[in-house]
């Protein structure tokens, strides 16, 4: 995380005077130098003058909107990291902005903690971009320096296709969201996907449900599992098969990343109950937070052709870009703002010191996942032990409760890994 000092210059481009002044006060309060412009055209002039570290850009402005600003800003050859903001939250707008180089999106109205976390991450990315070429090449240890930049360019331009959500998952989402549905109708839906139906039956007969009589039919299995866990299983099965690399060098890395994400999701769901948080949101946050890492590893393995680097050489690349790319994927797949927000900045520590309970839950869940898998998170270092303990205490999770959650999540993990083989 970068040091917050006056060497970091932030330019706010927003047509709302109240937003500009509020943002500037917040920016200056944490130690950045702030500048402002009332529209895109004025923002371009100001950017050339102050060469900002970070630009906070409103997408909807009169005269010159944020999209036009970004297209013209690209011609200036400045290395500012751009955070886009909007009250509308249109997914297409966000994806378009990301394709043109934005590194983060914050929906209005946002809290001080949210904008400070986004600023810190953006300044960090700016610092990495501005590092000497030789140092960057040494950090990445890549055999051909152009491989990773080409891949990011292709993703931003939409030249690399992203898998679509299967229809069965979309329909299950509708069921869980509250539309009336019977066990019979859901059974008919699942029965149309033979692979999913087989896994539902297998899960219902696993050690996870050992206390119950084995299910002999699909409808009984669905009744036992419940609609919410059925949806979670369907999305887990789909994600597990989503990024299947043919390059055998990358397979263990992608599998490890998927396994760690599943362990974290199960740990977070178990911990959410004593923490009085939403178990469903906790599960999907843990499961999909690092989906950008799996996608990037898959893309490098499948799209880099003759210049494919070794998996070990991808670590710095994945760590730098997986949060932003993951945010784009989740936006395309229709996940809510809460899951997407954590996915875009889950390695920052600002949320651990604020009121973001899910950021704290994520940190504790990551620590539990490390214990469950006996592996480290490939995408970044976990918070230190004292931070984990503090977060546990603030969530109301004592050591005995944490131990019970670990055991319950471990039982589920064992069963699910058998199902996913």
Q: What is the pLDDT of residue 152?
A: 76
Nearest of 275, 199, 194, 192 to residue 230 by alpha carbon = 199
Residue with tokens 């109950």, as numbered in its chain: 273
Is 49 domain-assigned?
Answer: yes
Query: Does residue 27 or residue 370 have the better pLDDT?
Result: 370
Tokens of 51: 């060469």
The rounded distance, in Å, linking the Cα atoms of 169 and 194 is 14
Q: What is the pLDDT of residue 409?
A: 94
For residues 260 and 113, state if they share a domain.
no
Look up the domain containing 271 and give its range: 242-420
Query: Does residue 390 or residue 224 have the better pLDDT?
Result: 390
The rounded distance, in Å, linking the Cα atoms of 301 and 39 is 42
For residues 260 and 402, state if they share a domain.
yes
Model confidence over 376-393: pLDDT tens digits?
888 887 788 999 999 999
For residues 113 and 261, state if they share a domain.
no
Model confidence over 36-80: pLDDT tens digits?
999 888 888 888 888 899 999 998 888 788 888 888 888 777 888
Is 146 domain-assigned?
Answer: no
Q: What is the CA radius of gyration of the chain?
A: 22
- pLDDT above 90 covers a percentage of the chain that reads 24
Task: Decide which of 114, 130, 146 is a domain's last residue.
Answer: 130
- Most confident listed range (100-109, 306-315, 364-373): 364-373
For residues 247 and 372, state if they share a domain.
yes
Model confidence over 80-125: pLDDT tens digits?
899 988 876 566 677 777 777 888 888 888 888 788 888 888 888 8
Does pLDDT of 338 surpass 80? no
Is 50 domain-assigned?
Answer: yes
* HSE, side-chain direction, 13 A CA sphere, residue 197: 14
Contacts of 15 (CB under 8 A, 6+ apart): 38, 39, 58, 61, 62
Mean pLDDT of 317-330: 83
The rounded distance, in Å, linking the Cα atoms of 142 and 309 is 6
Q: What is the pLDDT of residue 145?
A: 42
Domains in the chain: how many in total?
2
Query: Does residue 230 or residue 127 have the better pLDDT?
Result: 230
Model confidence over 253-295: pLDDT tens digits?
998 998 999 999 999 999 999 999 999 999 999 999 999 899 9
Is 273 domain-assigned?
Answer: yes
Task: Decide which of 95, 130, 165 is a domain's last residue.
Answer: 130
Does pLDDT of 361 surpass 50? yes
């Amino acid at each position: 995380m970068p040091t917050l000092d006056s060497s970091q210059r932030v330019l706010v481009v927003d047509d709302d005077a109240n937003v500009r002044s509020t943002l500037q006060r917040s920016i200056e309060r944490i130690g950045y130098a702030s500048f402002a412009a009332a529209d895109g055209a004025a923002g371009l002039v100001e950017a050339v003058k102050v060469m900002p570290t970070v630009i906070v850009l409103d997408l909807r402005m009169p005269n010159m909107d944020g999209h036009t600003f970004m297209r013209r800003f690209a011609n200036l050859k400045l290395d500012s990291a751009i955070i886009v903001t909007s009250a509308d939250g249109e997914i297409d707008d966000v994806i378009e902005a990301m394709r043109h180089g934005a590194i983060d999106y914050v929906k209005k109205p946002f809290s001080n903690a949210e904008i400070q976390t986004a600023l810190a991450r953006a300044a960090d990315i700016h610092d990495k971009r501005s590092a000497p070429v030789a140092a960057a090449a040494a950090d990445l240890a890549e055999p051909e320096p152009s491989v990773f930049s080409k891949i990011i360019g292709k993703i931003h331009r939409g030249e690399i296709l992203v898998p679509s959500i299967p229809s069965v998952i979309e329909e299950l989402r509708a069921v869980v969201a509250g539309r009336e549905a019977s066990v019979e109708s859901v059974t008919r839906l699942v029965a149309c996907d033979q692979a999913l139906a087989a896994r539902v039956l297998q899960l219902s007969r696993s050690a996870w449900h050992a206390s119950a009589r084995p299910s002999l039919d699909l409808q009984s299995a669905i009744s036992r599992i419940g609609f919410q866990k059925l949806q979670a299983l369907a999305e887990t099965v789909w994600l597990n098969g989503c990024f299947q690399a043919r390059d055998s060098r990358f397979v263990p890395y992608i599998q490890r990343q998927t396994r760690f994400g599943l362990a974290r999701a199960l740990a977070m769901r178990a911990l959410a109950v004593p923490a009085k948080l939403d178990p469903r949101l906790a599960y999907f946050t843990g499961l999909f937070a690092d989906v950008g890492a799996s996608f990037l590893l898959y893309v490098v393995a499948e799209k880099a052709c003759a210049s494919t680097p070794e998996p070990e050489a991808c670590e710095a690349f994945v760590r730098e870009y997986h949060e932003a790319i993951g945010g784009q994927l989740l936006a395309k797949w229709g996940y809510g703002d809460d899951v997407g927000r954590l996915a875009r900045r889950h390695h920052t520590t600002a949320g651990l010191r604020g009121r973001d309970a899910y950021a704290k839950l994520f940190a504790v869940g990551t620590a539990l996942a490390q214990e469950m898998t006996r592996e480290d998170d490939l995408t970044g270092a976990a918070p230190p032990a004292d931070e984990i303990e503090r977060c546990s205490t603030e969530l109301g999770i004592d050591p005995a409760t944490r131990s019970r959650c670990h055991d319950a999540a471990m039982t589920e993990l064992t069963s699910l890994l058998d199902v996913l083989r």
